[in-house]
Structure formats: C-alpha cells, structure tokens
C-alpha cells in the first residue's frame, strides 16, 4: 500500500514536470515564430 502511495506521488510530480516542459516548449516555439516573422 505504501509503495502505491509513493508511486502516485512520484508519478504526479513527473507529470507536472513534463507538463511544465511542454508549456515552455510551446511558448518558445511561439516566440521563435514571431521573431522569424519580424525578419521578413
């Protein structure tokens, strides 16, 4: 039972980190698109 609870906590933390990385990547993509449009 304790292993199950630890697994849920670790899995939740990993999920949050992955979501933050995905948000940062999409924000960076948007930023790069805007900068490339400015050059044209």
Burial 3-40 (b: 16+ CB within 10 A, else e): eeeeeeeeeeeeeeeeeeeeeeeeeeeeeeeeeeeeee
Instruction: Examine the pLDDT at 38 and tell me if it is beyond 80.
Output: no
Q: How far apart are CA 13 and CA 31, in angstroms?
A: 27
Instruction: Examine the pLDDT at 12 and tell me if it is beyond 90.
Output: yes
Instruction: Taking residues 3-12, report their average pLDDT.
Output: 97
Mean pLDDT of the chain: 92
pLDDT at 40: 64
């Amino acid at each position: 039972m304790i292993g199950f609870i630890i697994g849920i906590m670790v899995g939740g933390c990993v999920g949050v980190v992955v979501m933050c990385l995905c948000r940062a990547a999409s924000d960076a993509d948007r930023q790069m698109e805007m900068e490339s449009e400015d050059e044209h």
